[in-house]
Every structure is written in C-alpha cells, then in structure tokens.
Structure 1
Amino acid sequence: MGRILVLSIICILSLGFPGFSQNDQPNIIFILTDDQRWDALGFAGNDLIHTPEMDRLAAEGVFFENAFVTTPICAASRASILTGTYERTHGYTFGQGEIKQPFIDQSYPAVMRKSGYHTGFFGKFGVNYSGFEGLFDIGENYDRLDRYKDRRGYFYKTLGMDTVHLTRYTGQKAIEFIRQAPQEKPFMLSLSFSAPHAHDPAEEQYFWEKEFDSLYASQHFPRPLLSDREYFDAQPVYVREGENRNRWHWRFDTEEKYQRSLKGYFRMISEIDHEIGLIREELLKLGKDKNTVIIFMSDNGYFLGERQLAGKWLMYDNSLRIPMFIYDPRSVQGRKVKDMVLNIDIAPTLFDLAGLEIPKSWQGLSLAGFLEENSPDFEREDFICEHLWQVDIIAPSEGLRTKDWKYFRYINDPQHEELYDLKSDPLEKNNLALNPAFQDQLTEMRRKFEDREKELRK
C-alpha cells in the first residue's frame, strides 16, 4: 500500500505540479458564451448568421452535433461546468447562497492552478463564491449591470479612455493575458462572455458595438418554427403565465420586435466571433497557436419565439441543446461527433488534456478521446435534465433524454408528464404521454429517470 502511494505521488508530481515543461501539456482556452443556442452558428447549418471564426474552429476541430446542458439556466449550468457534476449533486442555483466549498476544492480552476498551470478568468463567473479572487492567478469577474436600464448595462468598462462593449473588453483582456503569460508553464484561460444574453432591464434588450450596425441590416428573418398559437396553448398554465411568456412579450410579440431582437442577438454572437479571431491572431503572432487547445460552448440554449416563448429553463431541446467544439492543433482534424455530450464533461476533459487525474466523484466524461484518430467507446445512453430552482415565475422540472426519447415532468405538478419520440418528432410537437399506445414507453422512461435520479443521490 505504501509503495502504491509513493508511486501515485511521483506520478502526480511529474504530471501536474510546477517544474514540468510547457511542451508536455497544452495551453487551453475555454470559451463560454451566454444563451447561445445550438444552431446560432454557421457550421451548425445556419445560413443567416455570420460566424466565420467559430465555423473555422468547428470545421478543423471536433464538432459535437448533440451537445446539451444538464440544467438550462446560467447559475446551475456554470456550477456543473466548474465541478463536473449535476445540479442535484452540487446543489447550486440561484437563491442557494454560495456554492459549497468541497465542490470548489475539486473544481477545474482550483486544481489546475495548484497543478502548475498559469490560470486566468475574464467575464461572467455566474456562481456565487466569495473566494473567486483566489481561484485564478489573474481573474476579473464582471457581467451586465442591471442598475442601468439602457445600453450602459453592456457599456461601462473602459480600455484606455474609451468605454467599450463587454465583449470587446473580454477579448482585449484575453489578448493581454496571453501576451503576459510566463513562458516556463502552460496557461489555462477561461473566457466567459456575457453576450448574447439580452440586457433584461432595457427596452431594446440587445446591444453591440457600432461597427456591427450594418451586419444583418437588410436581413429579414423568417418566423420561428412552432410559432402557431396551438403550441403555446398546449403548455400548462404555469408556463403560459410564467417568465418564458413575459420575455416573449419583451422580445418577440410583434414583427418589429422580432426582427430587431434577432438582428441584435446575431450581431452580439458575430461580435464574439470577431474577438475570437483577434485572439487567434495573437496566438499566431506569439508562436503559441500550435500548442493551444480551444474549447467552445454555451451555458444553455435559448428560445427565439418557438411556442411563443422566450428565455430558457424548460426541458425542450431549445433550452438544452448548445453549440460545442474542441480545436486541438496537435490532433486529428475535422470530425463530427454524434454522441450526446454535456456541460458536465468539460471539467473531466480539461483534466484529461492537462494530464491530471479525474476525480471519481465527477459525473461527466472526458471528451479528449475524440481528439484521437479512433473515437473512444463513449458510455452514455441517457442523461438527466433538470431545473430545480423553486421560484414562482419559472416552474421547476426534471426529466431524462436518450438518443431517441425525451421524458419530463414538472416537479410541483408531477401528473403533467411529456413524452417525445425524438427520432420521428425532433421538434417535440406531439406529446405522447396521454396516448394509450405509448403507455409502456412512458412507464419505462419514468422508471429510467427515477433510477438515474436515485444513483445521483447516493
């Protein structure tokens, strides 16, 4: 037993702590956007949006066609990204105080910094933790300012004498971090853009730098799928009267609002894309492009008027599905992956790339194997989707998604269940829960969910 312990310590020291060569481990940039839905990306098949830098990274890297968050709200999803665990495990969402210290102790920022990586963070941390400043070598936590009910919510940071959009600020901070990173160790940089999240207190909702005014100016966006009233009427009353409907009125309830909101939302994504291009130029200039892995994803999906709703929070794929890709210049290029991958997979992937031991308590899986020539045997048949925050304006819900089926129910109204055959009904139009022909499938999905839920609570 003692010999095993000594060997383990030697292994950890050789892989993780100060003294290793940067050539042994890659630099890593993890980019997280806010409310970017899975198809708000050219490479995902969107012919309307302008995202050339994201598209290039997705095309040359590994693009995950079926990427999801386990919890479609920023606070809980970001905690899951940090800790590699489901919401019902880490227990963090809005209104819960601070995230529990044991989860932070095993989080990717804490361990990667201790292992010898030079770490940085800029943008929206999104998790309430008073020890943020000690998590990174260089860190700055900022988000939209709700006290401003106009463009100042996004325009209050300065570079030199100029007040700039938060996206521009975050991009510049990334460039400065890369320039100043020490040469003797690899860096791990987390960038968390507030965009394209709407600025909720403002009437116009979406804000961007003036240089993007002409982008999409002449574009007319088609109405969303499932925008007929019947899909709204099919919702239970607590959804019809909840925050998803309120925000639909803010953004999409007239043709004028819809066109303005879509242009704003897309411009904010294109602005992030532009900053990614500048960051990559800096990597190339400094000769760090060949050893820097870039991971990209969003914290949750987004309704753009489907079912006459806005926001996220619900268990439909509009809320759950996100864009995700990994670009590793050292590995196989240009692969699309159909396996279901999750936000809880990010932390294990970061550890795997860095050569660190993945904690057994984590519930995600490493995606690093997809960067190799032969895809790994990926052991995921389903995942729990959940939104557990008990708040009057958003009905909490939970369910299970497999490749071909989706089951969910509302926690405070468990008799309302929904069941979808995703293979024949990918838009989730036909709820089969009350169809006598599908009662066995409903029972089976309910049982699977409850079994998986029990496993998470052990």
Structure 2
Amino acid sequence: MKTKLILLIAVLSSHGFTETAAVQPRGGPPNIVFLITDDERWDMMGCSGNKYLKTPNRDRLASEGMRFENAFVTSAVCSPSRGSFLTGKHVHQCGTQPIIHMNYTFHRSERPFPAQLHDVGYYTAHFGKWHLGEGDKKKPGYDHWVGYYALTSFFDPLLTTNDGQPERYKGFSDFVIADLAAEHIREVAKNDQPFCVYVAFGAPHYDFSYPEHLEHVLDDVTIDHHRRSTRMWRNQENRNASSTVRCGFPPCTRPAHTWTPGPIRWKK
C-alpha cells in the first residue's frame, strides 16, 4: 500500500488528548487508524507527565509523531465523548448528551467520520466498543464490523460480527480487540484502497480491571496522597457548595436529570 499511515490515539476524558504518528507520504490519501481508550484522564500517560504509569508505546507515538493538546469534550463519559470524536461536534449538537441506551443514537443528520470517508472511497472497519445507540450490529458506512455495545465484562468478550451473530472470544477484552484489529490492518494494507480502522477499547473504565500479569506491576510504587484532598473527597457530599468552593474544590452539586458517573465527581 503506497500511502502513509496516520495513527490517532484519543483519550476520553474531560480534556481530550490526541497523538498522531505518520510515516512520510508516498502519494495518495492516508490510511487512518483511530484508537480510543475509555474514561481515561488526559494525563494518564508517561508522555503527559505521569510519573507512576508506564506507557512506552504511547510515549513512542508522541515522540515520533505530533501531539494535539488543545482538544476538549463537554461531557466526560462514554457516549458523549465518542459522539464528539466521531462527528467533530459538541454533544449538544450531535445529540449525545447522556449515556446512550440501545434505542437512542446521535442525530440522524450526523454521519461518523469513518462513514464519511467511506463515501469518498475508503475501506472502513470498526473494532470494539460502540455505545452510541441502536445496538451492537454493523452500522451503515462500515465495510467490516467486530464489536460490542457496552462492556459487561473485561474478560472473554461476546463480540458481534458482520453477519450480526455474536461470537465469544477468550482473553482480556482489549487484548482480543487489539489482536483482531492488528490482524485485519495487516490484511487490508495489502490492497490499494485507502482504509480507516476505528479501534475502541473498553479500558481503563471503572472498575479498572486488568489482565493477571499486570496485577503487581505497581506494588513497589508509593503514590502520594494529599491529606487535605482525601479528607475533602470523603466528606464532600456532606458539605454545602459554598464551603467546598472556599476550600478550593468545585461544588458537588449537579443539575437534575443529568447522568453522573457516581455520587461524587471523582468516581471515574
């Protein structure tokens, strides 16, 4: 395939973060691989200054490619963030303000960017989490589909394929998704058609599951705790908003009829 490869990594959080890595172009439209992690803060990578987490692969992408650090989403949970990334619009514009359930989706007038690329001749594929309504079956504008609606288990995922039939895979969900996507990319790269492969992981997400071999990787690391911060988080639900703000924390109050990731803002 004589076109360049662009690799995008997006972190779904209150501050979106994107990295790109690209080889030198050889003519023709670029191939695009878009990778998304779930409910991960923008600074949860070594390249963004985190001193506890080891992320050598993403650090390498950042050092060899380009970093875009001025991207934001206005609702830092699964569906709204994904809707913004896929449409390029704020959540109130594309219709993904809340967590999207099976019988909802973003506005009918919106087309995800992979589908738009499909319209102009790209081969398009989806791997992993969807969580944008209308179930987990293959969506218009995608040539290949292996995914699930919303993760119910981090292990042995049940994935829906092109024909709409679920298939059980063994292993840690994100490793399964990564292996399937990598294998597919190697195959489609043999063709002359430009491709866009969208890969959506379910981790880290609450409750922070992980494969067994990573269980003790941070056993020798001591993470500093700010005593005052810990005390405030524990008691915030019992304090009024003005007291909380005076102590340097945002109020925990929230408008009615708005989904929240938990009883306090820091649950995820």
Compared with structure 1, are the counterparts of its residues 237 and 188 closer, same or farther at alpha carbon in structure 2 (3 Å cutoff)? closer
Instruction: Assess if the C-alpha contact under 8 Å between 1:99 and 1:129 holds in 2.
Output: no
Distance in 2, Cα, partners of 1:166 & 1:75: 19
Contact 2:126 2:144 in 1 (8 A): yes
Instruction: Quote the offset at 1:174 in angstroms.
Output: 1.1
What's 1:256 paired with? none
Identical counterparts, % of pairs: 29
Aligned mate of 2:42, from 28, 38, 43:
38
Secondary structure, in 3 states, of the residue corresponding to 1:119? strand
Query: Structure 1 residues 73 and 161 mapped into 2: Cα distance closer, same or farther (>3 Å)?
Result: closer
**Alpha-carbon distance, 1:73 to partner:** 2.0
Structure 2 CA distance for aligned equivalents of residues 110 and 64 of structure 1: 23
Structure 1 residue 179 corresponds to structure 2 residue 186: yes
Deviation for aligned residue 1:229? 3.7
Distance 1:84 1:228, change over 3 A: same
1:102 equivalent in structure 2: 109
CA distance in 2, matches of 1:129, 1:161: 21
**Match runs of 1:189-200 below 5 Å:** 189-198=197-206
Shift in alpha-carbon separation, 1:123–1:44, aligned structure 2, 3 A: same
Match of 1:89 in 2: 93
Structure 1 CA distance, aligned partners of 2:110 and 2:185?
A: 28
Counterpart among 205, 208, 216 of residue 206 in structure 1: 208
Structure 1 pair 225/24, CA: closer, same or farther in 2 (3 Å)? farther
Question: Which of the numbers 136, 140, 143 marks the counterpart of 2:146?
Answer: 140
RMSD: 3.0
Aligned to 2:22: none
CA distance in 1, matches of 2:94, 2:169: 40
Aligned length: 214
Q: Does 1:126 align with 2:131?
A: yes
Q: Output the amino acid matched with 2:94.
A: H
| CA distance, structure 2, for counterparts of residue 118 and residue 135 of structure 1 | 9
TM-score (norm 2): 0.69
Partner of 1:217: 219
- Output the CA distance in 1 between the equivalents of 2:100 and 2:178: 30
Query: Which residue pairs with 2:267 in the alignment?
Result: 310
Q: Deviations over 1:63-88 (max 9, x none)?
A: 23343223222212211211111122
Contact persistence 1:158–1:164 (CA under 8 A): no
Out of 210-219 and 48-57, give the one that drifted further.
210-219
Report Cα offsets for 1:124-177 as digits up to 9, x if no partner.
Answer: 11211367433311112215543xxxxxx1112389997201111111111121
Distance change in 2, residues 1:66/1:108 (3 Å): closer
The separation in 2 between residues aligned to 1:89 and 1:30, in whole angstroms, is 22
1:227 aligned residue = 229
Query: Structure 1 residues 109 and 161, CA, compared in 2 at 3 Å: closer, same or farther?
Result: closer
CA contact (8 A) 2:79 2:100 kept: no
- Contact kept, 8 Å, 1:27 with 1:188, in 2: the verdict is yes
Q: Could you give the per-residue CA deviations for residues 320-379 of structure 1, whole angstroms, max 9, x where no partner exists? A: xxxxxxxxxxxxxxxxxxxxxxxxxxxxxxxxxxxxxxxxxxxxxxxxxxxxxxxxxxxx
Residues 164-200 of structure 1: CA deviation (Å, up to 9, x unaligned): 01111111111121122151111111110000012xx
1:94: how far off? 3.0
Instruction: Kindly indicate whether the alpha-carbon contact (under 8 Å) linking 1:156 and 1:165 is maintained by their aligned counterparts in 2.
Output: yes
Task: Give the whole-Å Cα distance in 2 for the aligned partners of 1:219 and 1:143.
Answer: 35
1:111 aligns with 2:116: yes
Partner in structure 1 of residue 33 of structure 2: 29
Cα separation, partners in 2 of 1:215 and 1:207, compared to 1, 3 Å? same
Q: 1:196-345 alignment to 2 at 5 Å?
A: 196-198=204-206, 205-223=207-225, 227-230=229-232, 232=236, 233=239, 234=244, 236=251, 238=253, 246=263, 309-311=266-268
The alpha-carbon distance between structure 1 residues 76 and 226, as it changes in their structure 2 partners (threshold 3 A), is: farther
Given that residues 33 and 193 in structure 1 are in contact (C-alpha distance below 8 angstroms), is that contact kept between their aligned partners in structure 2? yes
Give yes or no for contact 1:143–1:194 (8 Å, CA) kept in 2: no
Instruction: Specify the structure having the higher radius of gyration (Cα).
Output: 1
| Contact map agreement 1:120 1:139 (CA 8 A) in 2 | yes
Do structure 1's residue 156 and structure 2's residue 156 form an aligned pair? yes
Distance verdict in 2 for CA 1:40–1:101, change over 3 Å: same
Q: Does 1:49 align with 2:57?
A: no
Going from structure 1 to structure 2, the CA distance change for 1:87 and 1:157 (only over 3 Å counts) comes to closer
| Structure 1: distance between partners of 2:252 and 2:182 | 48
**In the aligned structure 2, how far is the partner of 1:222 from the partner of 1:24?**
50
Quote the residue 1:431 is aligned against.
none
1:236/1:48 CA distance change after superposition, 3 Å: closer
Deviation for aligned residue 1:217 = 2.2
The alpha carbon displacement at 1:39 in A equals: 1.0
> 2:133 is paired with a residue of what secondary structure?
coil
Q: Distance in 2 between matches of 1:209 and 1:55?
A: 21
* C-alpha displacement of 1:51: 0.3
Task: Please list every run of 5 or more consecutive structure 1 residues that lacks an aligned counterpart in the other structure.
Answer: 1-21, 147-152, 199-204, 249-302, 304-308, 312-458
2:11 match: none
